[in-house]
Amino acid sequence: MANLKMTTPPKGWNSWDVYGASVTESEVKENAAYMAENLLSHGWEYVVVDIQWYEPTADSSHYHAFAELKMDEYGRLLPAENRFPSAVNGVGFKNLSDYVHSLGLKFGIHIMRGIPRQAVHLNVPIAGTNLRARDIAHANSICPWNTDMYGIDMGKEGAQAYYDSIFKLYAEWGVDFIKVDDIADSKLYSTHLEEIKAIRKAIDKTGRDMVLSLSPGPAPLKYGTFFQEYANMWRLTDDFWDNWEQLKDMFTRCAQWSPFVGPGSWPDCDMLPLGHIGIRSVDGGGADRLTRFTKAEQRTMMTLWSIFRSPLMLGCELTDLDDWTLHLLREPTLKIMHQEGRNARQIHNEDDWVVWQTEANATVYYVIFNLSDTERVTPTEIVALAKLKNSETLVAHDCLVSY
């Protein structure tokens, strides 16, 4: 069963949108220090190192096919020491994790499902067994966009032992958050149900609380109750970027998935492309830039994510965050809806007017979204629906919070 101790959706920072696969230890520390000083008191607490932390040659969001990876004698990936110097002598992320924890924050990493192809080609032993990598590898189960891993055949002896061994290592490092990729909606094989079960079992064996986040999306709606049982977060979309059409589409996804939101169960709208992104991440149709979302679109995104209670993961360079964005991230009404809201749901969607409702602390909150491309006066029937006293003029793509 998924960890139900989590009563609120995770809030934090992930390195992908700004550094792609190439983030360094110093960059993680700088962003963590900013979060501790400026955002921790507002509920932002997770610092997550995204993909390829084990690849010495990673330099952008582009993957290097069949790159040599850093791993131990049991095929367990280790941080690349040229990018994470505190990982020397095989200590992995323990020192970086300790630093993040010393700030009052929590530490997370990204992994790909399966076992490194490099481990299989070398046929390394599986820790705690008499078996080897080739005994469990599923060589026909691959990721179409990343060459690092083979899937694991969960019907083979030793398969669970391998997953147990890597999560034992992560627990020793002090990891609090695991983002597992190529698993919620593998582009070739749909959802890898058995590997998800194995990962859940391995986490539970460690005795350490770890948020389990599944990527990429769109996760199939038919597996909603499965995800609730075995994961804490699962992606509703492929990578989300600063694009209005993607944001508008998220309203449909949130309406479909709202029944699955609850303690320890958070359908995930993906990261927040706010502020300064793309420094070394060229995905999303752009390079080094400020978000292409207008301020109205940014408010719309933050409000939808908050009332729906999606996890909130920032993707920007925090150290040069502007005052306007920082204020948005600290907005108290959004925090209440996100952290305290219950029974959030869409109650109206017609003619690009969308209304959501949630309940928090004996108060009912209503949000009106104008999804058209023009400024419009809120129709009286929409105002009445949301129990507002007066009609309001809304900026294009803007939203109005009432309670």
Please give the structure tokens belonging to residue 176. 């609090």
* Calpha distance 4→12 (Å, rounded): 19
Residues 284 and 396 reside in one and the same domain: no
What percent of the chain clears pLDDT 90, i.e. is strictly above it?
87
Number of domains in the chain: 2
Q: What is the pLDDT of residues 162-198, one digit of tens each?
A: 999 999 999 999 999 999 999 999 888 999 999 999 9
Predicted pLDDT of residue 284: 66
Q: Is the pLDDT of residue 293 over 70?
A: yes
State the DSSP string of 245-309: HHHHHHHHHHHHHGGG-BTTBEEE---B--SEE-SS---TT-SSEE-SS-HHHHHHHHHHHHHHT
Helix (H) or strand (E) segment spanning residue 117: helix 117-122
Query: Based on C-alpha coordinates, what's the Rg of the chain?
Result: 21
pTM score, whole prediction: 0.95
CATH code, domain with 386: 2.60.40.1180
Residue 6 lies in a domain: no
Q: What is the pLDDT of residues 189-215, one digit of tens each?
A: 999 999 999 999 999 999 999 999 999
Residues 232 and 350 reside in one and the same domain: no
State the DSSP string of 269-285: ---B--SEE-SS---TT
Residues 49 and 78 reside in one and the same domain: yes
Q: What is the pLDDT of residues 79-108, one digit of tens each?
A: 999 999 999 999 999 999 999 999 999 999
Residue 177 lies in a domain: yes
- The CA angle 298-301-305, to the nearest 5 degrees, is 145
* Calpha distance 32→43 (Å, rounded): 14
Q: Is the pLDDT of residue 259 over 80?
A: yes
Q: What is the mean pLDDT of residues 215-233?
A: 98
Q: Is the pLDDT of residue 132 over 70?
A: yes
Q: What is the mean pLDDT of residues 255-282?
A: 96
- Start-to-end CA span in the chain (Å): 36
CATH code, domain with 319: 3.20.20.70
Amino acid at 51: I
* Calpha distance 275→318 (Å, rounded): 8
Phi, psi of 11 (to 5 degrees): -130, 130
Predicted pLDDT of residue 386: 78
Residue 1 lies in a domain: no
Predicted pLDDT of residue 1: 47
State the DSSP string of 140-201: EEEETTEEEEEEE-TTSTTHHHHHHHHHHHHHHHT--EEEEESSSSBTTTB--HHHHHHHHH
* Calpha distance 196→360 (Å, rounded): 33
Residues 325 and 361 reside in one and the same domain: no
Residue 188 lies in a domain: yes
Q: What is the pLDDT of residues 37-47, one digit of tens each?
A: 999 999 999 99
Predicted pLDDT of residue 5: 64
Residues 215 and 350 reside in one and the same domain: no
Show which of 311, 340, 369 is a domain's final residue. Answer: 340
Provide the pLDDT confidence category of residue 4 given band limits of 50, 70 and 90: very low
Domain, as residue range, for 382: 342-403
Residue 2 lies in a domain: no
Residues 240 and 378 reside in one and the same domain: no
Residues 212 and 72 reside in one and the same domain: yes
Strands 46-49 and 11-14: parallel
Residue 53 lies in a domain: yes
Show which of 303, 323, 340 is a domain's final residue. Answer: 340
Residues 161 and 81 reside in one and the same domain: yes
What percent of the chain clears pLDDT 70, i.e. is strictly above it?
95
Residue 4 lies in a domain: no
Please give the structure tokens belonging to residue 172. 């020793």
Contact 1, 212 (CB under 8 A): no
Residues 186 and 333 reside in one and the same domain: yes
Predicted pLDDT of residue 397: 64
Residue 102 lies in a domain: yes
Residues 213 and 247 reside in one and the same domain: yes
Is it true that the peptide bond before 218 is cis, omega within 30 degrees of 0?
Answer: yes
Q: What is the mean pLDDT of the chain?
A: 94
Residues 316 and 394 reside in one and the same domain: no
Residues 59 and 131 reside in one and the same domain: yes
Instruction: Give CB contacts under 8 A, 24+ apart, made by 373-376.
Output: 373/397
Show which of 308, 340, 372 is a domain's final residue. Answer: 340
Q: Is the pLDDT of residue 358 over 50?
A: yes
Q: What is the pLDDT of residues 72-81, one digit of tens each?
A: 999 999 999 9
Q: What is the pLDDT of residues 307-348, one digit of tens each?
A: 999 999 999 999 999 999 999 999 999 999 999 999 999 999
